[in-house]
Amino acid sequence: MLELKKFKDRTEVTFVLPTATPPGPVSVVGDFNNWQPCFDTLFPRDDGMRAVTVTLPVDSVHSFRYLAAEGHWFDDERPDGHDGRNSLVHT
């Protein structure tokens, strides 16, 4: 799930997943962090979810996927779009 907060000069995108699905550490990997695994790791929130927030430029489109333990790649269930290989977020 994606949560967006738009500001005049930036958009804060929060990537949200259930705490235990999938089990183990999960990071969001995308063009905004040069596809570096473990750079943006999701952390538990008080609401039973886990999340990480990334600041992106306004009016842009970014590709991303999630990377879980043991090299398990997966897509967001409700992205803004999909390019055939990756999930997309529109800021």
| 52-91 residue pLDDT tens | 999 999 999 999 999 999 999 999 988 999 998 999 999 9
Dist. CA 50–CA 52, nearest whole Å = 7
- Could you tell me the residue range of the domain that residue 82 belongs to? 2-90
Total domains, the chain = 1
How many CB atoms are located within 10 Å of the residue 58 CB? Answer: 11
Locate 66 and state its tokens.
């999630």
pLDDT band with cut points at 50, 70 and 90 for residue 8: very high
What CATH number did the domain enclosing 8 receive?
2.60.40.10
Q: Is this prediction's pTM over 0.75?
A: yes
pLDDT at 26: 96
